[in-house]
A and B are shown apart, each in its own frame.
Chain A
Amino acid sequence: MNRYGTFLLVATLFSLLISGCAPRHTVVLVPDPDGHVGKAEVTTEGGKQLLEKSFGMTTVSSSSTAPSPVSVATPEYIAATFSDVLAIEPSPSEKFILYFNSSTAELVAESRSTIAAIVASIKKRVAVSVSISGHSDASGSTQLNDKLSYNRAQTVSELLIQQGVSPDILVVTSHGKGNQLVPTADGVAEPRNRRVEVIVR
């Protein structure tokens, strides 16, 4: 073998070694806890693959090659590969909705008892995070509704703190009229949209 031949052999072995060590990814689409199946698209420089069926799986061997055609991940494969990560998944959250009187940050009478239910849930789960998001219906200006939804979220936050909940675990956000429970046209007053959603983790 001449020197050129030796060089080619070494170069081939080297590239085999490189590709053999190349990162390899596996992506599996699984149903949500409520059974809904979404979509995911995996992209490399070499192409892309869409996952849209339950337990659809694709693998990636290098950046220059397209992700593999979709196969189906078996329960055995999922158990062998993902048992540790599945065991540590945070448990599903508990969600509460509180309603407010029109144009105020004042709870409707029926929602006052929900505060106690939220406090009970926080204690039972030893919750580490409680998200409080304020919303308004679509009547009135954006500015007014931003302020209103903020005040509603703050009202719930303050009521929980008064009941002994640590402020450190509360995450307060306000959505204005941008995230409706019951979709309506702009300007429509809808009691079910005048709300605060509380998610206890």
Chain B
Amino acid sequence: MKTTLLGLFLILLSASLSVASAPQSDAIGRVQTLKGTVSIQRGNNALAVSIGTPVLCSDTIRTGKAAAAGLVMADDSTLSLGPNSELVLKDYVFNPKEGKFSFVTKMAKGTFSYLSGIIGKLAPDSIRMEMPVATIAVRGTKLLVTVEE
């Protein structure tokens, strides 16, 4: 009986732990501001975006002709996209406890504004922005970027 109870307790404990850690491994940021038609390409699906929509690693965010969007990442950095823009969230790790950080984006086309957050303070070397023919390394600051196709 005692063993059964202990077993049940362990199952419940592990269930509650896995639920507790789920949000950390999923959303890496959210859409905070939005204008016009914006979509997220996730795998083979194109998802509609509204304010509060979570973004995940590997998502591609696209804005339409008169559209724009602002993202807030888990480390409080922000990334905004102007009209006709395309951004790929290639890699994002925000794990201060284990000292693991990574923030790699690809700015494929359009206009962008980036403001660094906690990763910029703790591990600036782990931030990289890729563009079609150049890359940007950034140390705790704000940048404005245009990428023409």
Residues of B within 8 A of A90 (CB): 32-33, 70-72, 78, 80
- Find out whether the CB atom of B143 lies under 8 angstroms from the CB atom of A27: yes
Report if B43 contacts A (CB, 8 A): no
Q: Interface size (B, Cβ < 8 Å)?
A: 58
- Find out whether the CB atom of A82 lies under 8 angstroms from the CB atom of B82: yes
Residues of A within 8 A of B95 (CB): 173
B124 shortest CB reach to chain A, Å: 8
Residues of B within 8 A of A29 (CB): 141-143
Residues of A within 8 A of B6 (CB): none
- Find out whether the CB atom of B80 lies under 8 angstroms from the CB atom of A63: no
Q: In residues 92-149 of chain B, which contact A (Cβ within 8 Å)?
A: 94-97, 99, 111-113, 115-116, 118, 120, 122, 131-149
- Find out whether the CB atom of A129 lies under 8 angstroms from the CB atom of B32: yes
CA distance A131 to B112 in the complex (A): 24
Residue interface bits A170-182, CB-to-B below 8 A is 1, else 0: 1111111011000
Q: In residues 62-93 of chain B, which contact A (Cβ within 8 Å)?
A: 68-72, 74, 76, 78, 80-83, 85
Residues of B within 8 A of A44 (CB): 133-134
- Find out whether the CB atom of B32 lies under 8 angstroms from the CB atom of A201: yes
- Find out whether the CB atom of A178 lies under 8 angstroms from the CB atom of B83: no
Query: Which single member of A60, A63, A146 contacts B97 (CB below 8 Å)?
Result: A146
Report if B11 contacts A (CB, 8 A): no
A26 shortest CB reach to chain B, Å: 4
Residue interface bits B2-34, CB-to-A below 8 A is 1, else 0: 000000000000000000100110010111111
- Find out whether the CB atom of B131 lies under 8 angstroms from the CB atom of A32: no
Q: Which residues of B are at the interface with A, using a C-beta cutoff of 8 A?
A: 20, 23-24, 27, 29-35, 51-52, 68-72, 74, 76, 78, 80-83, 85, 94-97, 99, 111-113, 115-116, 118, 120, 122, 131-149
Contacts A43-B134, A73-B144, A81-B111 known; 20 new A-B pairs at CB < 8 A: A23-B132, A25-B147, A29-B142, A38-B120, A67-B134, A84-B83, A88-B33, A88-B82, A89-B33, A90-B32, A90-B70, A90-B72, A128-B30, A128-B32, A128-B51, A128-B72, A129-B30, A146-B97, A173-B74, A178-B99
> What are 17 inter-chain pairs, A to B, with CB distance below 8 A?
A23-B147, A29-B141, A33-B142, A37-B141, A42-B136, A44-B133, A82-B82, A82-B113, A85-B80, A88-B34, A88-B70, A89-B80, A90-B33, A90-B71, A171-B24, A173-B24, A201-B76
